Amino acid sequence: MFSDPGYSNGYCRPQEGGAAPEHGALRPPHRGRGRRRGRRGRSHDPADSPASGGAPRVADSEQGVEQKPPPCTDFDMAYFHSYAHLGIHEEMIKNARRGGRHYVPDRVRTETYRTAIMRHQSSIAGKVVVDVGCGTGILSIFCAQAGAKRVYAVDASDIAVQANEVVKANNLSDTVIVLHGRVEDVEIDEEVDVIISEWMGYLLLYESMLGSVITARDRWLKPGGLILPSNATLYMAPVTHSDRYSDSIDFWRNVYGIDMSAMLPLAKQCAFEEPCIETISGENVLTWPHVVKHVDCYTVTLGELESVTTKYKFKSMMRAPLHGFAFWFDVEFNGPATSPTSNQVSSSFIESSNNQSTDVSQRKKRANPSEALVLSTAPEDPPTHWQQTMVYFYDPIDLEQDQLIDGSLTLTQSKENRRFMNIHLEYT
């Protein structure tokens, strides 16, 4: 077996002493009502005008609080501004979007959320809902259609202005209140029964929008309230992808009969120095997946998001070149009664080196769809706009069947910009 922890996969440079490669930061953009002042959140679709004949939908008055919210940085402003562009929201709603080299169906995301809302209609009808990072307001409208008494649609991006117009056009202004601002900075003068949010980023935690959901939960959610989705799991697995390597690298060995192999080092750097968002298939995956992190939205804390570390051990199922690692995630839409109640579940998954047990648990989870509604971004499932996050090596490694691959992975929020993520990957 290979035993050189200095192998570098495009994102990290090997450090002295055989330390693992650092895989550069993933860079973002992504997507929160009440009055200004609040907690953390990704927001994008807010309200701009007062509701007619009532209290303002958005108020600017500051209210005294025990703890000051984190300041809105230039990075935050750039992030919010990126979500003001309609193209991002179009990608997340439309039947297809341009993703890498493929058109990726995106109906899966929206229809799963609508199904989850209707499945939990008894918990939503007549209740108060907050939509964190509401974007165009589509999830807020689904909740209103499910009979919600009131929906606070919160978003810090200027797309909130259009969301408010969408709400008006659908005659839902009496139900859906759009709040233009960060979850940290808006005020809602009542407790809420339900929090819904499409907070997931690439690699699940990229863009840090989960922090906004945590803030909304701690500020407003009633005891026993519902959070959709309720929990999430991030996976990783080694992959082989010869076509991708050939397209990006081997192409330069012979260009119109000209030897351009001198371009190979630059080609590898340009193609693989950062994580890639691509769609692969189950045939590219060499082993059972490993659980990197399980997130219980009812109990997760902001501190848990700062750094995630796991050790892994894989056994290759076939003889093939190893080109890197793929990451994907699942989210489930359960009520608080069926959500994990402690981190013991997470730890038992993460600490297990038997990846077959991980797969068994996955198959058991999906065996009865009535038990849990799952939105999956796994390679074997219908593609979504998240696709998979790929970490490629500069050069492939030849694997034999049953060969072991072990190492560790650390994901940390960037200190310069918490919406970026640093990937530190070690492997042997």
Dihedral, 376, 379, 385, 391 alpha carbons, nearest 10: 120
> How many Å separate Cα 375 from the centre of its chain?
12
Calpha distance 184→154 (Å, rounded):
10
Residues paired with residue 37 on neighbouring β-strands, in sequence order: 185
Classify the C-alpha dihedral 229-373-363-380 as positive or negative: negative
Are 202 and 210 a contacting pair, CB within 8 Å? no
| 40 in Cβ contact with 212 (< 8 Å) | yes
Tokens for 206, please give them.
Answer: 């990229």
CA distances from 394 to 53, 339, 361 (A): 63, 41, 33
Catalytic residue from among 184, 187, 198, 332: 198
Q: Single out the catalytic residue among 207, 278, 332, 426.
A: 207
DSSP state of 201: B
Q: Which residue has the tokens 């750094």?
A: 307
The DSSP result for 229-252, as a single string, is: S-EEEEEEEEE--HHHHHHHTGGG
Q: Please confirm, yes or no, whether 198 is among the known catalytic residues.
A: yes
Active-site residue, 207 included: yes
Q: Is 376 helix (H, G, I), strand (E, B) or coil?
A: strand
Other beta carbons within 10 angstroms of residue 364's beta carbon come to 10
350: which 2 tokens?
Answer: 């993460």
DSSP 72-126: --HHHHHHHHHTTSHHHHHHHHSSEEEETTEEEE-HHHHHHHHHHHHHTHHHHBT
Q: How far apart are CA 104 and CA 92, in angstroms?
A: 10
- Whole-angstrom CA distances from 408 to 19, 287, 316 are 11, 16, 17
Could you say which DSSP state residue 386 is in?
Answer: T
Rounded CA separation 297/199 (Å): 11
What is the set of active-site residues?
Answer: 198, 207
